[in-house]
Structure 1
Amino acid sequence: MDTVSVDFHYYPEKYDDAPKKLNLFERTLYPDIDQANQTKRKSYFLKRVIDLIGSSLAILLFAPVICFIAILIKITSKGPVLFRQERLGQFGTKFNFLKFRSMILGCDDAIHREYIKKLITENKPSEEDNSDAQGPVYKIRNDPRITPIGAFLRKTSLDELPQLLNVLRGEMSLVGPRPAIPYEFENYDIWHRYRILQVKPGITGLWQVTGRSSTNFDEMVRLDLKYIHDWSLWLDFKILLLTPLAVIKGRGAY
C-alpha cells in the first residue's frame, strides 16, 4: 500500500484554544489568502501608489488644520498631542496607530477591554450598547474621560488625521478595515480574523459609509469581508468620495 503525505492545519475556534507555540498569523494557515493576493498583485501595487500620493497631498492640504489642532490640544489639556496605541496590521504586523489625543492623561484601558469583549461576544448593535462603532475600536458614548476638544475632534473625525502618517509609512491604507487592537483579536472567532489578514487596515472603509451607528460587530465584519472580496481600485475611489458625506452626517461619531 502506498503512503500519502498529508499536511494538517489546526484552526482553533478561539484565541485561548490555540497552542501557545502556534502563531495564528502564520501564512500557511491561510493558503487561500496568499493565492488571492497573488492574483491581485498589480492592483495592490497601484493601491499603494495611490496611498502614497493621496496621503502626501492630504498632509499638505490639512497641514494648517493639523497644526491648529495640535496647539489646541496642548494648551487645553496636559499630555502629548498624539495618542499612540499598538494595533494589528495585515497578517498581525504590529504598529503604532496614531490619533490626536482626545482623552485626559492616564486613562486605564481595563474598562475598554471589558467593553470590547462584551460588544464582540454579545454582538449587540452599537446604539443599543451606548457605544460608537469606529471599526473594531468602539467608543463609549458620553465617556467622562473625553476632553472638550476631544469630543469635537471625535464628532468631526478630525482625530483621525494623524493616521495619514501611518498610510505614508505603509502600515495602513486610505481605505480598508479598521486596525484591530491585540486584546480585541483575542475575542475573535475564526471568520473574524480574515478582516485583518488579506489587506492593510484603512482610515475609512465600506461600513463607515453605509450607516455605521446601527451596525453590530458581526455585521461590521461582514461588510469588511465584502469589501475584501469585491475589492477594486474603483471601489476604493467610491468609498473615498462617500467618506466626507459620512463625516458631515456624523454617522456614529460621539
Structure 2
Amino acid sequence: MNGKLQNANVEQISNFSWYRDVCKRFFDFVFSLIGILVLAVPMLIIAIVIKIDSPKEQILFRQKRVGKNNHEFTIYKFRSMRQDAPHEMATKNFENPEAYITPVGKFLRKTSLDELPQLFNVFKGEMSIVGPRPLIPNERKVLELRDEYGANKILPGITGLAQVHGRDEITDENKAAYDGEYALNMSMLLDITILFKTVFDVMQSRGIHEGKNKQ
C-alpha cells in the first residue's frame, strides 16, 4: 500500500462513524454485560480450579497493553502460566513456553477460556468484542505497522480479523494489514462474520501456537 493511500485511509478511520463510535459501543456494553452475567458461574468455577491448582498464586493475570490511540490500559485474563514467567514479553517470543504453562492453563489457552475476563475490559470501554488484539508496549514493530494502517485508531478487541485469518500462523506484517483492513471496513456484518469464524476456529483449535519453536 503506497503512502498516500495509507494516509487517506488513516484519515478516513479518524473521521466520525455512527457504527464505530455509537452503535458498536452500545452493542459492546450490552453484550459484555450479558456475557458477564451468563458466564458468571463458569468463570467462578474456572477461578476455583486455578486456585486449587496453584493455591499461592493469583487467579487473574494483569498486564499493560496498548489500546486506542496508543493509550495503555490493564488487560485481564485468567492466569494460565506460573507467576515467574517473563511478564513483559509476548508468549509467541518465549523459547520454551511449556515450561511456564500450568496444566489448567494449557486447557484454558487451548479453548481460549483464559480470555473471558476481558469482558470486563469491554464493559469498561477499554476494549471491544471485535478489534485488533491489544499488544504489549514493547511490541514496537507491530505497533508502528498498525500506526501506518490506522489500526491503533480504534479499540482493541477480544478477537479480530487477523485472528480468523491465521492468528499465530501469519506474519506481523500480515496481522497489521488485516487490522488496518478491519479498521477501515468495520461494519456490523463484518463483526458478526468474525465472531462466527472465531467460534469455529476455537472449536477446531486453529491458529494457536506457543513460542518461537512453534512458528
Pairwise CA distance, 1:164? 0.2
Q: Which amino acid aligns with 2:44?
A: C
Q: Residue 247 of structure 1 aligns to a residue in which SS? A: helix
Greater radius of gyration (CA) = 1
- Structure 2 residue identity aligned to 1:221: A
User: Aligned to 1:64, which of 3, 17, 41?
Assistant: 41
Q: CA deviation at 1:139?
A: 6.6
Cα deviations by residue, 1:122-172 (Å, 9 ceiling, x for unpaired): xxxxxxxxx75xxxxx67675211100001100000000000000000000
Matched, 1:104 2:82: yes
Q: CA deviation at 1:180?
A: 1.3
Structure 2 Cα separation of the partners of residues 139 and 91 of structure 1: 28
Structure 1 residue 79 displacement after superposition: 1.0
Q: Deviations over 1:53-87 (max 9, x none)?
A: 11111111211110000000111113110000001
Deviation at 1:34, TM superposition (A): 5.6
Match of 1:51 among 1, 4, 28: 28
Out of 231, 235, 246, the position equivalent to 2:186 is 231
- Report the Cα distance in structure 2 between the residues aligned to 1:208 and 1:149, rounded to whole angstroms: 23
Equivalent of residue 177 in structure 1, options 126, 129, 132 = 132
User: Cα offset for 1:50?
Assistant: 0.4
Percent identity between the aligned chains? Answer: 40
Q: Taking structure 1 as reference, are residues 189 and 164 closer, same or farther at Cα in structure 2, changes over 3 Å only?
A: closer
Give the match's secondary structure for 2:69: helix
Q: Residue in 2 aligned with 1:221?
A: 176
Q: Which residue of 2 aligns with 1:128?
A: none
Equivalent of 2:152, from 197, 202, 214? 197
Q: Give the TM-score of the pair, scaled to structure 1.
A: 0.72
What are the equivalent positions in structure 2 for 1:3-18 lying under 5 Å apart? none
Task: Label 1:252 to 1:36 Cα distance change in 2 as closer, same or farther (>3 A).
Answer: closer
Structure 1 CA distance for aligned equivalents of residues 41 and 150 of structure 2: 34
- Cα 1:140–1:148 shift into 2, 3 Å: farther
- In the aligned structure 2, how far is the partner of 1:42 from the partner of 1:156? 30
Is residue 70 of structure 2 the alignment partner of residue 92 of structure 1? Answer: yes
Rate the CA distance shift 1:248–1:139 in 2: closer, same or farther, 3 A: farther
* Contact 1:85/1:97, CA 8 A, preserved across alignment: yes
- What are structure 2's unaligned runs of at least 5 residues? 1-6, 210-215
Q: What residue ranges of structure 1 are gaps of 5+ in the alignment?
A: 1-29, 117-130, 133-137
| Structure richer in helix, relative to its length | 2
From the superposition, tell whether residues 230 and 159 of structure 1 become closer, same or farther in structure 2 (CA, over 3 Å): same
Give the count of matched residue pairs.
Answer: 201
Q: Tell me the CA shift for residue 252 of structure 1.
A: 2.5
